[in-house]
Amino acid sequence: MSSVETTSKLLVTGGAGFIGANFVHYWLRQHPNDTVVVLDALTYAGNLASLDPVKANSEFHFVQGDICDTGLVEELLVKYELDTIVHFAAESHVDRSITGPDAFIETNIVGTHSLLKAAKKVWLDLRAADGLPPLKHRFHHVSTDEVYGTLAPEDPAFSETTAYAPNSPYSASKAASDHLVRAYHHTYGLEVTTSNCSNNYGPYHFPEKLIPLIVTNILRNRPLPVYGDGKQVRDWLYVEDHARGIELVLQQGQVGENYNIGGHNEWHNIDIVHLVCDLMNQAFTEHPELLKKYPEAERAAEGKCQSLIQYVTDRAGHDRRYAIDARKSREELAYQPAETFESGIRKTIDWYLENTDWWIPLVTV
């Protein structure tokens, strides 16, 4: 089987997290009759409220559980007759990986292996024992551009053939999981694909990440921390464009292949901070009634968000630049981001302004 024409019964791991939840929303809009089972441990980054928009859908099912529980995963694959795994579940915050790497090894490496074992048993081994051919299936693994290491200012962007050179415990754990997925395809014949994406932004993004941190700190009159000189470069991708890219990989991607999904949108971190400040200043100027909802946002109301910027000691092992070369996805899958950064960042800010009930509990615990 070279590609999956239709996927109708999905297990989405980490589906209560930022990218996973957005993928679930997107998938059920595009495929409203498909079964989607979300498995999420609901750790700090998993938020059940992020799935509120789909919880009334009769084809949506939520299970709280750990991907390291191989027996549970096997049970779900059998119970719901699932034919596709889209694997988002991961510890993903680099700072946390530096101070506490053990959780990253457990979730990102051991957890991925647990899923692979369950998929192999249910989709391949049990059927072989009954004299049946393998179940038509796909295991899609969602990875990151950070596995490739760092780029100098003039280096070409990361391609699918770039050698892995992870520099943090987080990226090293994701690199290891990528290799396990590849090995299960080449050794056992599990039908897999992997996508490596650039930095995502958009609704439901946990407030410790750069863009939502800047927005929510402005609203609470808190400092806007910028690592080092702020000149680190990242390629930014609107989260729904990422979900659409994964859909294309599932439907058209070649089994055993990796696909880079990027936004063609490189920015220095400090420029992102200034842009968000400008847009927040503008929002409060154009809508002064916002100050009633966010009385602490005095700097925004005065048009002085930039005064909150505070440079802090750089992160250990901080990669200088990431950039994705997504030509393979464009040429083989006809993938292009639909959202411009101008429209995407405005949508993101508007979402945080309108969804206080979602993010306030996350910054007050």
User: Distance (Å, rounded) from C-alpha 365 to C-alpha 361?
Assistant: 6
- Residue 145 annotated among the catalytic residues of the structure: yes
Distance CA 266, CA 233 (A): 6
Q: Which of 145, 191, 235, 339 is catalytic?
A: 145
What DSSP element (H or E) covers 282?
helix 269-286
Instruction: Give me the DSSP letters along 55-85.
Output: TT-TTEEEEE--TT-HHHHHHHHHHTT--EE
3-class DSSP assignment, residue 113: helix
Local structure of residue 135 (DSSP, 8 states) = P
Residue 273 belongs to what H/E stretch? helix 269-286
Residue 159 gets the label, from left (phi > 0), alpha (psi -120 to 50) or beta, of: beta
The pair of structure tokens assigned to 200 is: 């995502």
Instruction: Find out whether 336 and 264 touch, Cβ atoms under 8 Å.
Output: no
Does residue 26 have an active-site annotation?
Answer: no
Active-site annotation holder among 83, 91, 146, 235: 146
Concerning whether 170 is annotated as a catalytic residue, the answer is yes
E-only strand ranges, the chain: 9-13, 35-40, 60-64, 84-87, 138-144, 192-197, 199-201, 224-227, 233-238, 258-261, 266-268, 309-312
Contact criterion met (CB below 8 Å) for 133 and 201? no
Of 66, 83, 148, 170, the catalytic one is 170
Q: How many Å apart are CA 191 and CA 101, to the nearest integer?
A: 30
> Hey, which residues does 182 pair with through a beta bridge?
none
CB 273 within 8 A of CB 30: no
Residues with active-site annotation:
145-146, 170
